[in-house]
Structure 1
């Protein structure tokens, strides 16, 4: 006879309507299953998820604004700690209504991810046994692993939730981490509990800004940890707030709001304050006779004593050699990059094709990193060099080789890139007269400066890029076929942002580059995904920057992108008749407005010169 585990026997009993076998379930799960059974819920059915109106979600967000601001910061940190593990972090209010989520894209795209959305209600009576609903009922951290969920369709999920309580022990909100695995995630459960405790402490500091706040613990080395008690005290010594560890440490004493400091500690309030305000750690006894160390963390009305701050920045991840410094999870892009290292090892010229703003230069720099070359990465925008000077720019020139030549000559970019990489951007704009010389150079890797008889052998990795269709240019005789075949020995195609399956990862990656540690919600990413993105990643970066400038918040949600539609005429006269120029102009003018009409700030945010910005906004 096949041996059945405790959970197997329990589920079999549940679906037959029998009593649950003793010891097969924790008391919390067994009691929850029984409540669900009493409600007539069928464990084999699919629960009908209740989702409230978005206007109600916004009202609940406003009601919990202080909690939400602190929670989103913790959720971002929590997500960074368990990123890559197919997780979703959710914030719920006291009723179990989800307010915000931050997730890995794979989980967000799953059936479970699509059911945990802002406005979804996760109470026990509708959703059966689940961590969010049970944590709200029990007012304590709960983990529901796999088939401990009441509904069998949730059997592949593991969910860990912790309530966020006020000093009176009432539920303010709920923090949940869910993953698509049945395995027990003890480490994650601990992280969720710590994050909830951090939010509770943050609320005390936020809501008691005018009070004294003391940290206390029997061991001095624990004063800077989440195990320490926090006590908010008025100027007269009345206890206004106390955190959960504080209540626990004062077990047996009347640690309730409104009691005086002297009712909890033997040392009088005045005597204790003399030592605490000097900035030192004091040792006093509570009324039960236990000794504790105490330190002042906030001086009411006068300021804050320096206290440990939890790091908000996302921990740095050391990428392995050959890993791109950009998101590369889209299957089409992954296929293009798969054999790139081998092509570089064979010294093949690499061609990067893609629309404007798709990240062609980032890919070129990745090629340079893959090559392991010690020389420089040298970039040339082929469309920005006058035709008459193009050859001299690449190959250099001797002194006096032509009118306006540098007095001491110039080595040229090809020699500068020796033992490194020469990146020819906008290669479709290479003048016809220079294409022959470039082809000869690619064949021989020999450089002869303008006005010189000497040749120099160089060792250069060639990378080219363009947003134009070179095949069509060859057909129309604007580009040499033999030069194209020489440049595109190995081609990487950068997909447009609108078609990338890893869009959410791109957004999260950019957010962490622009504002490390700043949370962006799944709802915000979903709203961004609806746009067409003609400017691709460059445009997305500008939109995120504008949202951060405009919001003045520590997080970005979907309301951050409810900017007014840009009027067709919102571009300068020179750009109005050209689609690409018009789009770029609108982007510059929009960032200019968001920065308070600051030309320098706009130029810095968009990576442009001040002259270019001024040309579009004057």
Structure 2
């Protein structure tokens, strides 16, 4: 509380132009505020939103390809660690220019999220006090919480950034996590620092692919942690690089690249390697007389023996039994799911509608799980059953009941679903003649096989699905009205993929199922979101599979879809009027992207962005 009151007093002084209260701010924040004030930035104003050309973003990515590869993997791990916290993870280069982002969709759709995009510049002179810019300037981890940001419009955010160093101590890039101010902070800051250290260690392994990498620490139990020193050594004993913890542990010794291993450690290089290659831990002294434990983590030609990293100190996620195994963050789907468990408990027939590929069978299987039934889930594609055999397939038949009947007879699918669920897919294709029998079955839950004399009572949960308009078919007398109302006791409408608000979550969910742990950047998702998706989730799965096949690295970015979908070109995907005006370009891109994502709906785009329809039309009229 004392810290919060200090921030309030400091902000009041800032906005009045007075001196800042002593001790109310972190020194790094107070110094930054003063620099911003010295260049006449208005703390109550709007920061500049400069974005470099997309061609420059590509050049910067290529120049930092090794770091980017490692960083995207760490960003994906961070995404899983802090998911649900309304956050964004960004990778910047040494100049504070954003290269990639991976984010929670709620944050990505916010004003702050739309301003942190590939190519956006986060130097202090334009964006005021912020973690990414300060970490680049100071060369050390920085956390800026809430109203510590110079601009008042950023007061609801917290951001934590850590620099990524090469073995020579030069800043290669920056890792940043920005989140809602009320979300977790200290824990997130620690995770960001750990991720940056993991990237630095990964670079040592990459750079020493044909050399030895040894881990060392005074305590043996720390050899598998980020506190351990790492030293890469050539096959003849020349020191190539040492990570930051290693430099701290060997402080005062000649840590110059090219010096021999023997100049750092008392044990000769040959005897030390002999012991290390046996796979055990050896204990040796450094030239300052300190004892350390050492283990070999990599032998030349990338034979790495480092244990696979696991997510640190995070509680296991408890999966609710009634949680669907598909993405359901879209409000329309959430509304459908609200009372579904109660409907299943009452054995109400459930009818699922939606375009092809929207996940109707997944929803049907979810109904079956919610019902808690011990019987089988029995799907039947009504459109694939010949009309003359439909009743026999559903209700069964006795031996020799009709021509071409099975010699041994058939129990029927309804009997197979007893105490379980019968899923009638493509229910609109049920022949009219069979609809009467199905209606009678739904009313009585009794089945009589063709050629049989006895009726049998069954307990079946009915789920039906179609991509056609049953109401229209009823009006055209192609479907019985009484059967429609019986099937339609509980209706679920699945929205098409192009109109879902949880599109990013769907992409990440599918990717995690196909290639667990593969990073997907926000730019890749933005590129995908511009498609119409007539095949919906089924089509999206195919496109992602194709992207996995053609990728050239261990991540998916917008370049993986060049042959499938237009890529968001940050420098050119805007109207002619805004193309030559950098400050207007980012806003124009934002409007056009949302316009595509809302299926070119001007009214919805205007409503979601808080703009007039005239303003939206001005920016998108050339796309029609």
Q: Which moved more, 1:66-75 or 1:331-340?
A: 331-340
1:398 — aligned with what? Answer: 398
Once the two structures are superposed, residues 8-55 of structure 1 have per-residue CA deviations (whole angstroms, 9 ceiling, x without a partner) of 111122222222211111121112122222222221211112100001
Matching residue of 2:130: 130
**Count of matched residue pairs:** 564
Structure 1 residues 250-287: Cα deviation after superposition (integer angstroms, max 9, x where no partner): 12222232221111111111221121122211100111
Q: CA deviation at 1:184?
A: 6.2
Q: Does 1:360 align with 2:360?
A: yes
User: C-alpha separation between the residues in 2 aligned to 1:124 and 1:169?
Assistant: 22
Maintained 8 Å contact 1:73/1:312: no
Asked if structure 2 preserves the Cα contact closer than 8 Å seen for 1:103 and 1:522, the reply is yes
What's the counterpart of residue 202 of structure 1? 202
Q: Does the Cα contact within 8 Å between 2:145 and 2:158 map onto a contact in 1?
A: yes
* Structure 2 CA distance for aligned equivalents of residues 315 and 174 of structure 1: 27
Question: Per the alignment, in what secondary structure is the counterpart of residue 288 of structure 2?
Answer: coil
1:116 corresponds in structure 2 to 116
* Aligned 1:171-250 pairs, distance under 5 A: 171-182=171-182, 185-250=185-250
For the residues of structure 2 that align with 1:4 and 1:277, how far apart are their CA atoms? Answer: 55
Instruction: Name the residue aligned to 2:560.
Output: 560
2:487 counterpart of 1:487: yes
Determine the structure 1 residue equivalent to 2:251.
251
CA contact (8 A) 2:86 2:183 kept: no
Contact 1:312 1:517 in 2 (8 A): no
Paired residue for 1:304? 303
User: Take 1:307 and 1:369, find their aligned partners in 2: how far apart are those partners?
Assistant: 41
Deviation at 1:226? Answer: 0.8
Correspondence 1:261-276 to 2 at 5 A: 261-276=261-276
d(CA) in 1 for partners of 2:13 and 2:564? 57
Instruction: Identify if the C-alpha distance between structure 1 residues 553 and 401 changes in structure 2 by more than 3 Å, giving closer, same or farther.
Output: farther
In structure 2, the CA distance between the partners of 1:536 and 1:564, relative to structure 1 (3 Å rule), is closer
Evaluate the alpha carbon distance shift between residue 395 and residue 312 of structure 1 in structure 2; reply closer, same or farther with a 3 A threshold.
Answer: farther
**Cα gap change, 1:3 to 1:281, in 2 (>3 Å):** closer
Q: Supply the distance in 1 between the matched residues of 2:140 and 2:300 (Cα, whole angstroms).
A: 31
Where 1:491 maps in the other structure, the secondary structure is strand
**Which residue number corresponds to residue 148 of structure 2?**
148
Deviations 1:189-211 (A, max 9, x none): 11001111111111111111011
Return 5+ residue gaps in structure 2 as ranges: 567-624
Offset, 1:371: 0.6
Q: Contact 2:85 / 2:184 at 8 angstroms: preserved in 1?
A: no
Contact 2:352-2:464 within 8 A present in 1 as well: yes
Residues 3 and 47 of structure 1: CA distance in aligned 2, closer, same or farther (over 3 Å): closer
- Give the deviation of 1:484 after TM superposition: 0.5
Task: Give the superposition deviation at 1:4.
Answer: 7.6
Give the equivalent residue in structure 2 for 1:537: 537
C-alpha separation in 1, matches of 2:397 and 2:159? 68
Shift of 1:499: 1.0
Q: Distance in 2 between matches of 1:17 and 1:184?
A: 32
> Residues 3 and 508 from structure 1, CA distance in 2 versus in 1: closer, same or farther, beyond 3 angstroms?
closer
Unaligned runs of 5+ in 1: 567-618
Distance in 1 between the 2:315 and 2:513 partners?
Answer: 12
Q: Is the 8 A contact 1:145 1:183 kept in 2?
A: no
SS, match of residue 440 in structure 2: helix
| Cα offset, 1:398, TM superposition | 1.3
Instruction: Supply the distance in 2 between the matched residues of 1:393 and 1:202 (Cα, whole angstroms).
Output: 60
Q: Aligned pair in 2 of structure 1 residues 565, 165: CA closer, same or farther (>3 Å)?
A: closer
The equivalent residue for 2:421 is 421
Give the Å deviation of 1:475.
1.2
Structure 2 matches for 1:368-447, cutoff 5 A? 368-447=368-447
Cα distance in 2 for residues equivalent to 1:3 and 1:256: 44
Q: Distance in 1 between matches of 2:518 and 2:151?
A: 35
Does 2:57 match 1:61?
A: no
- 1:168 corresponds to: 168
Q: Distance in 2 between matches of 1:226 and 1:17?
A: 44
SS for the counterpart of 2:303 is: coil
Is residue 237–residue 261 contact of structure 1 (8 Å, CA) maintained in 2?
A: yes
Offset of residue 317 of structure 1: 4.2
CA distance in 1, matches of 2:319, 2:540: 24
State the 1:434 CA deviation: 0.7
Give the superposition deviation at 1:463. Answer: 0.3
Instruction: Answer yes or no: is the 8 Å Cα contact 2:324–2:366 preserved in 1.
Output: yes
Aligned CA distance change for structure 1 residues 129 and 4 (closer, same or farther; 3 Å): closer
Asked if structure 1 preserves the Cα contact closer than 8 Å seen for 2:81 and 2:311, the reply is no
**Separation (CA, whole Å) in 2 of partners of 1:129 and 1:253:** 38
Most deviating of 31-40 and 522-531: 31-40
Indicate conservation of the 8 Å contact 1:108/1:114, yes or no.
Answer: yes
Q: CA deviation at 1:237?
A: 1.2
Match of 1:580 in 2: none
User: What secondary structure is seen at the aligned counterpart in 2 of 1:325?
Assistant: coil
Task: Give the direction of change, closer, same or farther, for the CA distance of 1:261–1:4 in structure 2 (3 Å limit).
Answer: closer
* TM-score, length-scaled by structure 2: 0.88
**Shift of residue 305 of structure 1?**
4.7
Map 1:588-607 to 2 at 5 A: none
Measure, in 1, the Cα distance between the counterparts of 2:55 and 2:315. 36
CA distance in 2, matches of 1:511, 1:3: 43
Deviation by residue 1:443-495 (Cα, 9 ceiling, x = unmatched): 11001111111111000000000001111111111111111011001110011
How far apart are 1:532 and its partner, in Å? 0.5
Deviates more, 1:315-324 or 1:495-504: 315-324
1:542-553 to 2 correspondence within 5 Å?
Answer: 542-553=542-553
Partners in 2 of 1:157 and 1:217 — Cα distance?
38
Cα shift at 1:92: 0.3
Give the Cα separation in 2 of the matches to 1:237 and 1:329: 56
Quick check: 1:279–1:305 contact (8 Å CA) kept in 2? no
Distance 1:320 1:57 in 2: 42
Conserved? CA contact 1:80–1:315, under 8 Å? no
